[in-house]
Structure 1
Amino acid sequence: MKRFELLVLILSFLFVTGNCQETYCTEVKHKQIKTLQVKVQGETFSAPVIELNSGKVIEINFDALSHGYGRYAYTITHCNADWTPSVLSSLEYMSGFQNLSIDDFANSLNTTTFYTNYRLFLPNNDIKFKVSGNYVVKVYNEDRPKDIVFTACFSIVEPKVNVAATVSSNTDIDVNKEHQQIGFEIVHPNYEITAPQSDLKVQIYQNNRYDNMVKNIQPLTIAKDRIIYQFNRDLI
């Protein structure tokens, strides 16, 4: 009986471990990489979000503390809403090849610390995206493919609904002081949403901060062609 219980525990552990997936975020993993930025090209303070086939481009910009071209390459992974890898193959979500090198770089001039600035733009002449969703770019030293120096996350959207939002300083915490309350409607006259409570994954975050993100938000009212989120204390 003891051996049977031990076997059950081992199998349970293997099952849980085998189903664990990495959750990605924009993160520097090597001390040589500095000032990592992920944004829409030409927009200094933008969230890293573009529309599919819109002509807009995601810019990934970073510095490496060296004075000379270090060879960096990258792979692209399509992710689920929770930033875990999706089941799609690369052939399904992009056209082009993986493990391409980053060739846009410039050495610093007249600086106390030597560094090389690198830029990667997506999509580009080599990479085109086929579907919307969350994406992570894993950048690594070309000579050491397992040595990931940073990950960069961005999203490609494909608008199917309209979102109308309001912000009010009148909350049940204080009035016109320190807090604001978000309210919004999802309007979808031409897009069927049969079960909003489970089909929609609503996430709200402040100034691109993910540490205080609000999620698992439930609607107040569900109408024929609109879903209303209002008077929710979680949205303060």
Structure 2
Amino acid sequence: MPDLHWTIPVARWSSWPAAATAAPDIGFIEPIVRRRLSTLSRVALKVAHDCVAQDEVRVVFASRHGELRRTTDILRTISAGEPVSPTSFSLSVLNAMTGVFGIARGDRSAASAISAGAETLGYALLEAYAQYATEPGAPVLLVYADEPADPAYGTIEDEVQGGAIAILLNGDATAGQLVCTLSGAGEPETAEAAQGASHTDEESESGTEESFASQSQALQHCLETGQPAVWQSAGAAWHWRLHDRAI
């Protein structure tokens, strides 16, 4: 399969580290709703709110595990023969955050949710770009938030690190142009191909790519430092570069 290249106009972006000890400020959410939210939804709402004000915006939410911890608690409750809270059930779905965000802002714009294993963030970036490209006049907000699965599920390959990232796709691109490349998708990647993927002419201009254990770590490094970054799976490599001008 040929390499895929796309460029995202980054108007604003925000992140929340997995190691943060302080609680995210989501005062724009009503207290009665706020106290029922999970940590995952709280950090997702925090970075989303950082990127948009009151303007209408389409939302693409991405998470590998989503509200799996809440769902696991519900299953344990059922197993114990206890009643399940309707609120907990309604907030256990993958797109719970998008519903809360839209209601809080009075925004009925389209919202979607994506989960694609260890490559969730990469495919969410592709989906957000596709939505933006079909209607460039309407901004798209990408929100990625995740946390490790409950220990009950055992060892998970390429487990997520946690934390959250939000990117607002808009024409002004004040934060730069994020160049995304997916190489080797759908076919085995040889050692030679992987090595070559990290040394293209364009990347050599801005420095050698640094490899990371998760997609979110690689993307955040690129956004924070402006340096190219890569994340590799068994069959594909995801590359990110940030430019302060259109390409």
Alignment TM class, shorter chain as reference: under 0.3
What TM-score do you get using the length of structure 1 for normalisation?
A: 0.28
User: Taking CA–CA contacts closer than 8 Å with sequence separation of 6 or more, which of the two structures ends up with the larger relative contact order?
Assistant: 2
The structure with more radius of gyration: 1
What TM-score do you get using the length of structure 2 for normalisation?
A: 0.27
Higher-strand-fraction structure:
1
